[in-house]
Amino acid sequence: MSAAGLASPSASRLGPFLAGLLRDPIVWLIVAIFAVGSLTSEYYLTAANIENLMRNIAVIGLLSLGMTVVLLTGRIDLSVAALMIFSVIVGVVLMAWLGSVIGVRWLVRGNTFAGPTLAVMGIALATGAFVGAINGIGVAYLKVASFIMTLVSLTALRGFNYVLTNGHPYYLKSPLFNWVGDAKLGPVPVSFAIFLAVLVALIAFVNGTVRGGRFYAIGGNEKAALYAGIKTARYVVLAFVISGICAAIAGIVFTARLKSVDAPLAAGYELTAIAIAVIGGTALSGGVGSPWRTLLGSVAFAAGLNLLAIWGVGTWYQNLAIGIVLILSVGLSKLSRKKVQS
Amino acid sequence: MLELSRRQLLRSAAAVSALALVPVTSLLAQADDKGVHTILNELIKKYSDEAKASMSNEEVAALFEKDGFRDYLDVYPVGDLAGGFVWKPGMGATFTGPHSKLEIKSPFTDYLPLPEGPVLDPDKKYRIGLVFHGFNHPWLISLADTASWEAARHPNIELEVIDAEFDDNKMGQVIDTWIAKQYDGIVLWPSREAPMGPPVDRAIAAGIPTVSLDRRTSSEVISSEVLGNFYANGLQQGLYLKHAAPDGNIIFNRKDLGSTADSIRTGAFLEVIGNTPGYKVLANYHTNSQRTLAFKSTADALQAFKDISVSFNTGGEEAMGALDAIREANRLNSAPGGKKIMILANDDAREVLKEIRAGNIDMVSPYTPLIGDIGIRAVVMHIGAKEGKNEAPPKLIMTPNLPMITREKMNIEGIETLTPDEWPYAYGPEASG
């Protein structure tokens, strides 16, 4: 399956890319949301609200990017939300333990982590990659259905989160966490800049390299990919590792904003990540989608919810709206694919 | 224009209190001169001091130590009511809950009162946000009921009520949206302390007075905290147990580890029984306020242990789940010596009171959700203080300790218990049957 029409812009394809963009319903949905927002609320396009919007996009966008790569291979990763919390908890617990080994108290009164933050972040990223690899090995080599494998991971990680924290929160108040959670680079929050950096890296890899293109091949027709000599299992593991790393980065951004990590946080966010990938046009059956379109999905999703929140619409109705948009997105996406094929 | 000083507020509180007392003299006769709030605070201090000195029951001490209760108990405020307010049973207004449509008698409507009518600048619309979790939970709906009732008494208050559906991040985002919309005040019911500190800090930094209800946040700059009486809850569960039985094998159905409700109630209970050697800890479960989980854990415990004599429950939902499991197993009278398993509860839901009347649940420490009105009044006073129209209310607004409810009237260490029929403040729908 080709990624044509869904790929990122390059200099030579900018014209067709922009033309394609203008034909894309999700782009018009985003334009419509912003237009309605600016017409109906004096607060919608204020700097403060746009900043909120960018911060909201960062966490769910990072989770969705990882999910997109897994979905491209025709698999699913339900463990992302549990992993985003687990990875940070492991970072804190491991560093606190290491501190006790070398005789330094890094977990001070009130469960505040006072040790080296960079090391926590490094361990969190490694944990994300490690858990992703375990998921991938289970799916690719042990032939466990990805739904089952990652559902088990989700449950186990939620349990581990409680075991490792004993139900108590860890406070993360170091300058580096504050910087990630609160600082801005010009008008852009650091968390959103991190999301953009990951997005660019993934676009470059998935849509700009031969290896990245193999995710589409596997998702489009795995047997054909295998017969073509692609070591599909390795790429499936790689997709889960990417998803794990994205989850860990999302965890760092998320907990930096809350300045704490707590076992029950982010419950259900895996469904939001799936929803955004699907709204962005990624097919659950694999082979169709791109990180670029997941960006559009993230913006549409967050901007829509933000508009409802600005209007003071209750969360029940917001959930209803998500459901309706999701159904419409899946329907429109199917229709447009049929049109392209015909 | 309404301009309030604290002295005026106190004077009006006293006047309203006096008015409210007239029809309930029979109830007042039960109350001690110094008030149940003070008596319970003295008992809290007594048992806390004793537990700090030593805890001779090794099993209880081990559990107390393992879950780090001391850290939580030492920082949980125990103190006097704002402005010297004295609460007596029978006080408060009666109305229909705007959300639940149930009849409510709210106990603390005379506490830091605001007269009906426009507040502060009558020509200005004051936009206040209330964010909480759980429009599907009777306790929390009742909380929102009282807040909306208070807001509706003042035509220039526009209250937006949002349910964050137990997602702390979503609650933070709601607060950030209200900051962007430049709301005048924010009231929140935080589920957990840690994650809600930063959003509150951002609201305060934006100049928006913010008040938390019941549970606390990790913010050190929050305008006011309207605090519940968790300490008195757990204390009274312990006092009842000590009064009713000098020994017993206890199973625990607790809320989330780390939640204020669990830390303070369970900790206070253990402080009271910690120096009585006859109590054993058979099993300890976290059922996270879910009746179904409490049912399952109690059913498991009934299979594992034949000699359960006490079921300690951190909340009303847990107590109802435990009772259902005990009834289903036909084990209500299976405590050693053929005695009834003693069920200790918190939260004065109507269905819990029904089981007390029936003699199935032995006691409940009321923990009323009917405190949303205090939050609205407090945040209005903070807005008024910001506008230079009145003094700000205190940072810590303690709510009155409430006496336990038992089937028959009892006097336990100076606390006159009330019967279910003497308690008009129960919340939630009427229990069927």
Domains of chain B, by residue range, sit at 6-17+85-229+369-398, 43-75+230-366+405-422
Q: Kindly report the number of other CB atoms within 10 A of residue B338's CB atom.
A: 7
**pLDDT given at position A10:** 55
* pLDDT tens by residue, B2-18: 334 433 443 444 333 43
Nearest-Cα distance to chain B for A315, in Å, is 6
Q: Using N-to-C axis directions, what is the helix angle for A315-341 and A25-40, rounded to 10°?
A: 150
Give whichever of A166-180, B21-35, B244-258, B266-280 has the largest mean pLDDT: B266-280
CA of B257: which chain A residue's CA is closest? A167
Higher pLDDT, B113 or B26: B113
- B353-383 tens-digit pLDDT: 999 999 999 999 999 999 999 999 999 999 9
Whether A310 sits inside 8 A of B198 (CB atoms) is no
More confident residue, A13 or B136: B136
Chain A contacts of B195, Cβ < 8 Å?
169, 258-260, 262, 265
pLDDT tens digits, B294-312: 999 999 999 999 999 999 9
Give the closest-approach CA distance of B275 to chain A in angstroms.
26
For residue range A315-327, list pLDDT tens digits in order: 888 888 888 887 8
| Fold: same for B6-17+85-229+369-398 and B43-75+230-366+405-422 | yes
Q: What percent of chain B has pLDDT over 90?
A: 79
Ordered DSSP codes for B382-412: HHHHHTTSSPPPPSEEEPPP---EESS--EE
Q: Which residue does chain A place closest to B262, by CA atoms? A: A167
Q: Is the minimum CB–CB distance between B168 and chain A shorter than 8 Å?
A: yes
| CB contact (8 A) between residue A258 and residue B176 | no
CA atoms within 13 A on the CB side of A270: 22
Q: How far apart are CA B389 and CA B26, in angstroms?
A: 39
Q: How high is the ipTM of this complex?
A: 0.88
Say if residues A44 and A307 touch (Cβ distance below 8 Å): yes
Fold assignment, B6-17+85-229+369-398: Rossmann fold (3.40.50)
Is residue B109 over pLDDT 60? yes
Mean pLDDT of B286-290: 83
Q: Give me the mean pLDDT over the B321-330 stretch.
A: 96
Q: 10 Å Cβ neighbour count for A216?
A: 25
Average pLDDT of chain B is: 90
* Helix or strand run (H / E) with residue B249: strand B248-254
3-class DSSP assignment, residue B366: coil
Angstrom distance (rounded) from CA B178 to CA B184 = 9
What torsion, rounded to 10 degrees, do the Cα atoms B36, B40, B41, B45 define? 160
Picking from A168, A173, A180, A307 by the largest number of B CB atoms within 10 A of its own CB, the best residue to mutate is: A168
Average pLDDT over residues B115-120: 96
The pLDDT score that the predictor gives to residue A23 is 78
Residues from chain B contacting residue A315 (CB–CB below 8 Å):
162-165, 170
pLDDT score of A338: 74
| Tens digit of each residue's pLDDT (9 = 90 or more) over B393-403 | 999 999 999 99
Find which of B67, B131, B176 to mutate to test the A interface (most A CBs within 10 Å of its CB). B176
Mean pLDDT is lowest, of A45-54, B119-128, B421-430, for: B421-430
**Helices and strands (H and E) in chain B: how many:** 14, 16
A52: nearest CA partner in chain B? B176
The per-residue pLDDT for B1 is: 34
Q: Which domains does chain A have, with CATH numbers?
A: 47-341 (1.10.3470)
Q: What pLDDT is recorded for position B288?
A: 77
A-B CB pairs within 8 A amount to 90
Q: What is the mean pLDDT of each run of 10 residues along chain A (342 residues)?
A: 46 73 84 95 94 96 97 97 98 95 87 94 98 98 97 96 90 95 96 98 96 95 94 97 98 96 92 93 91 94 93 86 80 73 68
List b or e across A153-172, with b for residues whose CB sees 16 or more CB atoms inside 10 angstroms: bbeebbebbbeebebbbbbb
Average pLDDT over residues B271-295: 93
Query: Measured between alpha carbons, how far is B423 from A341 in angstroms, rounded to an integer?
Result: 71
Could you identify the residue written with the tokens 């559009």?
A296
Nearest residue in chain A measured CA to CA from B176: A52
Write out B131-171 in H/E/C secondary structure: EECCCCCHHHHHHHHHHHHHHHCCCCEEEEEEECCCCHHHH
pTM value is: 0.86
- B242-270: average pLDDT: 92
* Helix ranges (DSSP H) in chain A: 14-23, 25-40, 47-72, 80-101, 117-140, 146-165, 175-182, 190-202, 210-220, 222-227, 232-258, 269-279, 291-311, 315-341
User: With 0-12 CB in 10 A as exposed, 13-18 as middle and 19+ as buried, what is A330?
Assistant: middle
Residues of chain B contacting residue A167, judged by C-beta atoms under 8 Å apart: 256-258, 286
Check pLDDT > 50 for residue B46. yes
Q: What integer pLDDT is reported at residue B287 of this predicted model? A: 87
CATH number belonging to domain B43-75+230-366+405-422: 3.40.50.2300
Distance from CA of B161 to the nearest CA of A (A): 8
Tokens for A119? Answer: 């090391």
Q: Between vectors from CA B188 to CA B183 and to CA B189, what angle results, nearest 5°?
A: 165
Q: Which residues of A touch B172 (CB under 8 A)?
A: 257-258
Q: pLDDT at position B33, please?
A: 58
- Write the residue in A48, A162, A262 that is nearest to B194 by C-beta: A262
Look at residue B217 in the predicted model and tell me its pLDDT. Answer: 92
CA distance B206 to chain A (A): 11
